[in-house]
Every structure is written in structure tokens, then in C-alpha cells.
Amino acid sequence: MSTLGNDLIRIIADFPKPGIVFKDITPLLANADEFKKVCNQFAQIADQSEYIAGIEARGFIFASAVAALTNKGFIPIRKSGKLPGKVISKMYDLEYGKSSLEIHIDLIPAGGRVLLIDDVLATGGTAIAAIDLLKMAELNPVCIAFLLEIPALGGRSRIAKAHPDVKIATILAE
């Protein structure tokens, strides 16, 4: 874990609704050097994987860059209704509501090892749903990596309980 880039994460209170503390990564993304450093740190975790999956929306930013850096295929995990063709979906709870994720089930060969990337680990609901989807698509998620984590929300322990076979990594220390 690194502390590089932490000073480029803005804390926005009461967004997207009252009581939520939003971690804005936009300043880090706008800083070319720090963005590259973070993507390279994610890439170091990708050695056990054949594919890089990213969770919409901000997970796409890092996952697609890491896929390009490591010469691996990119798997988009999207919000409901945004993927054409044959998909499977999974409902999950958010910190502030409910949502659904989808993945194509007929494009990636079964058994492929996957590094799953998202921006922030909060409650773990989105991550668990994404791991569930990868497994439902007969893929093998070996690791889920986050830019940063909000430890007080307990997401790491929820993921570990639901999927003890999946390694959990965080790039930036709190």
C-alpha cells in the first residue's frame, strides 16, 4: 500500500445525499504522474490474471488502463441495461440504496483468471455482487483491488466472508 496520491483525494460531505462522505478521485485522475503511478501499482497485482474486470463507472478508468498496460483483455461490469446481448445480472445493496450489475456471459472463455478493479471499497456490496457475477459467468476472480478503502464501513470483512478465496488489495493507504 502506498500513500502516494492521497493528497489528491477530495472529501465531499453529503454527496450524493445527506450523510454520505464521497471520496472524489478526480484530482488524482487529472494528475498524469500520479494516475500513472496508481495504474502501475494495480498492474503489479495483475500477474496472476488473464483478464482485468472493472466495475462501472470509476472502476472502468483504472481497469481499462491496467488492461492496456498489462496486455490483458478488459471485462466491463456495467449497471443494468447498458450491455447488449446475453447478460446475467445481480442485485445488491448500496451504502445509499439498491442497484444491479450485469456482465456478458458468452464472450469470455470459462475458467479465465480475473483481477477485478474498483475505485473505493465502502460496504463491499458492489464488490460482492461483481465477484458473484464473475463466478456465475464461470470465471475465476483471483483478486479484487481498490484504489482506496473506507475501513469504518466494514467492506473488507464482508467480502472476505462472502468470498474467502478472493484476495483483497488496496493501492492507497488511508
Helix (H, G, I), strand (E, B) or coil at 134: helix
To the query of whether residue 58 is one of the catalytic residues in this protein, the response is: yes
CA dist 36 and 41 (Å) reads 9
**Catalytic residue, candidates 56, 58, 149, 156:** 58
CA of residue 79 relative to chain centroid, distance: 13
CA end-to-end distance (rounded Å), the chain:
9
Query: What cell numbers appear for 81 in the block?
Result: 441495461
Q: Please confirm whether the linkage preceding 18 is cis (ω < 30° from 0).
A: no
Pick the closest to residue 15 from 98, 96, 101 (CA basis): 96
Q: Where are the beta strands (DSSP E) in 67-153?
A: 73-79, 87-94, 97-104, 113-121, 140-149
**Catalytic residue, candidates 50, 56, 95, 102:** 95
| Amino acid letter, residue 100 | S
Pick the closest to residue 145 from 169, 114, 121 (CA basis): 169
As annotated, the active-site residues are 58, 95
